[in-house]
Chain A
Amino acid sequence: MNLTSAAPDGRADALLTSFERAGYARVMPAILQPAEPFLDLSGEDIRKRMYLTTDPHGRELCLRPDLTIPVSRDYLASPAAGAPQAFCYLGPVFRHRAEGAGEFLQAGIESFGRPDKAAADAEMLALGLEATAHYGLDAPDIRVGDVALFSALIAALDLAPAWKRRLIKDFNHKTSLLQDLDRLAISASHARPEYQGVLAALAGSDPKAAHALVTDLLSIAGITAVGGRSVGEIADRFLEQSALGAQTSLPRETRALIEKFLAIGGDPDEAAADLRAFAREVRIALDAPLDLFESRTGFLAARGVDVGRIRFSTAFGRGLDYYTGFVFELYDPSAPAAGQLVAGGRYDGLLTRLGSASAISAVGFAVWIERLAQLRGAP
Chain B
Amino acid sequence: MTAPFVIAVPAKGRLQQNAEAFFARTGLELVKPRGMRDYRGAITDLPDVEVAYLSAAEIVDLLAQGAVHFGVTGEDLVREKIADADKHVILIDGLGFGHANVVVAVPQAWIDVHSMADLDDVATAFRLKHERKMRLATKYVNLTRNFFSAHGITDYRIVESAGATEGAPAAGTAELIVDITTTGATLAANGLRVIEDGVILRSQANLVAARAANWGAAEREMARIVLDRIASQTRARAFREVRTRFAGCDAALLAEAKDRFGVETPFGGPTSSGMLTLHCPPQHVHALATRLREKGAENVVVADIGYVFSRANPLYAKLEAGLT
B152 CB to closest chain A CB (Å) equals 7
Instruction: Say yes or no: is A169 at the interface (Cβ < 8 Å to chain B).
Output: yes
A187 pairs with B121, CB closer than 8 A = yes
B128 pairs with A165, CB closer than 8 A = yes
Instruction: Say yes or no: is A218 at the interface (Cβ < 8 Å to chain B).
Output: yes
Bound-state CA distance A234–B114 (Å) is 13
Q: Which of B107, B149, B196 has the most CB of A within 10 A?
A: B107
Closest Cβ neighbor of B124 among chain A residues: A165
Type the 1/0 row for A30-45, where 1 means its CB is closer than 8 Å to any CB of B: 0000000001100111
B121 pairs with A186, CB closer than 8 A = yes
Bound-state CA distance A192–B112 (Å) is 9
Taking CB atoms, residues of chain B closer than 8 Å to A321 are 154
Q: Assuming the A-B contacts A47-B158, A226-B107, A226-B110, are A165 and B175 also in contact, with contact meaning beta carbons closer than 8 angstroms in the complex?
A: no
Partner of A39, one of B108, B128, B157, B175: B157
B115 pairs with A40, CB closer than 8 A = no
A347 CB to closest chain B CB (Å) equals 15
A238 pairs with B117, CB closer than 8 A = no
Q: Assuming the A-B contacts A169-B124, A229-B126, are A221 and B109 also in contact, with contact meaning beta carbons closer than 8 angstroms in the complex?
A: yes
B117 pairs with A226, CB closer than 8 A = no
Taking CB atoms, residues of chain A closer than 8 Å to B129 are 233
Within 8 A of B (CB), among A326-374: 352-353
B148 pairs with A44, CB closer than 8 A = yes
Partner of B114, one of A190, A227, A231: A190
A226 pairs with B191, CB closer than 8 A = yes
B107 pairs with A227, CB closer than 8 A = yes
Bound-state CA distance A47–B121 (Å) is 22
Taking CB atoms, residues of chain A closer than 8 Å to B130 are 228
A349 CB to closest chain B CB (Å) equals 9
Bound-state CA distance A190–B197 (Å) is 10
Closest Cβ neighbor of A240 among chain B residues: B112
B106 pairs with A190, CB closer than 8 A = no
Taking CB atoms, residues of chain A closer than 8 Å to B112 are 234, 237-238, 240-241
Partner of B125, one of A187, A237, A353: A237
B181 CB to closest chain A CB (Å) equals 17
Instruction: Say yes or no: is B79 at the interface (Cβ < 8 Å to chain A).
Output: no
Bound-state CA distance A48–B144 (Å) is 12
B115 pairs with A353, CB closer than 8 A = no
Instruction: Say yes or no: is A166 at the interface (Cβ < 8 Å to chain B).
Output: yes
Type the 1/0 row for B116-136, where 1 means its CB is closer than 8 Å to any CB of A: 011011101110111111110
Taking CB atoms, residues of chain B closer than 8 Å to A238 are 111-112
Q: Assuming the A-B contacts A228-B130, A234-B109, are A166 and B125 also in contact, with contact meaning beta carbons closer than 8 angstroms in the complex?
A: no
Q: Which of A161, A192, A226, A231 has the most CB of B within 10 A?
A: A226
B111 pairs with A234, CB closer than 8 A = yes
Instruction: Say yes or no: is A27 at the interface (Cβ < 8 Å to chain B).
Output: no
Partner of B131, one of A173, A226, A353: A353
B157 pairs with A40, CB closer than 8 A = yes
Taking CB atoms, residues of chain A closer than 8 Å to B134 are 228
Bound-state CA distance A241–B148 (Å) is 22
Taking CB atoms, residues of chain B closer than 8 Å to A168 are 124
Partner of B115, one of A44, A190, A229: A190
Taking CB atoms, residues of chain A closer than 8 Å to B132 are 40
Taking CB atoms, residues of chain B closer than 8 Å to A187 are 114-115, 117-118, 120-121
Instruction: Say yes or no: is A223 at the interface (Cβ < 8 Å to chain B).
Output: yes
Instruction: Say yes or no: is B174 at the interface (Cβ < 8 Å to chain A).
Output: yes
Instruction: Say yes or no: is B169 at the interface (Cβ < 8 Å to chain A).
Output: yes
Instruction: Say yes or no: is B156 at the interface (Cβ < 8 Å to chain A).
Output: yes
A49 CB to closest chain B CB (Å) equals 11
Closest Cβ neighbor of A237 among chain B residues: B112
Within 8 A of B (CB), among A131-161: 161
Within 8 A of B (CB), among A155-193: 161-162, 165-166, 168-170, 173, 186-187, 190-192
B158 pairs with A40, CB closer than 8 A = no
A43 pairs with B106, CB closer than 8 A = no
Taking CB atoms, residues of chain A closer than 8 Å to B122 are 229, 237
B154 pairs with A229, CB closer than 8 A = no
Instruction: Say yes or no: is B302 at the interface (Cβ < 8 Å to chain A).
Output: no
A166 pairs with B121, CB closer than 8 A = yes
Closest Cβ neighbor of B106 among chain A residues: A227
Partner of B149, one of A45, A192, A221, A241: A45
Taking CB atoms, residues of chain A closer than 8 Å to B118 are 187, 190
Type the 1/0 row for B218-239, where 1 means its CB is closer than 8 Å to any CB of A: 0000000000000000000000
Bound-state CA distance A124–B65 (Å) is 48
Instruction: Say yes or no: is B176 at the interface (Cβ < 8 Å to chain A).
Output: yes
Partner of A169, one of B107, B114, B155, B176: B155
B175 pairs with A192, CB closer than 8 A = no
Taking CB atoms, residues of chain A closer than 8 Å to B115 are 187, 190
Instruction: Say yes or no: is B145 at the interface (Cβ < 8 Å to chain A).
Output: yes
Instruction: Say yes or no: is B141 at the interface (Cβ < 8 Å to chain A).
Output: yes
Bound-state CA distance A253–B111 (Å) is 32
Instruction: Say yes or no: is B172 at the interface (Cβ < 8 Å to chain A).
Output: yes
Closest Cβ neighbor of B192 among chain A residues: A227
Taking CB atoms, residues of chain B closer than 8 Å to A166 are 120-121, 124
Within 8 A of A (CB), among B151-191: 152, 154-158, 169, 172, 174-176, 191
Known: A223-B109, A237-B125, A238-B112. 8 other contacts (CB 8 A): A44-B144, A44-B145, A166-B121, A169-B155, A173-B152, A226-B169, A229-B122, A352-B131
**Chain B: residues with CB nearer than 8 A to chain A?**
83, 106-112, 114-115, 117-118, 120-122, 124-126, 128-135, 141-142, 144-145, 148-149, 152, 154-158, 169, 172, 174-176, 191, 196
Closest 9 CB pairs of A and B: A187-B117, A227-B175, A190-B115, A226-B107, A238-B112, A227-B169, A223-B109, A226-B109, A237-B112
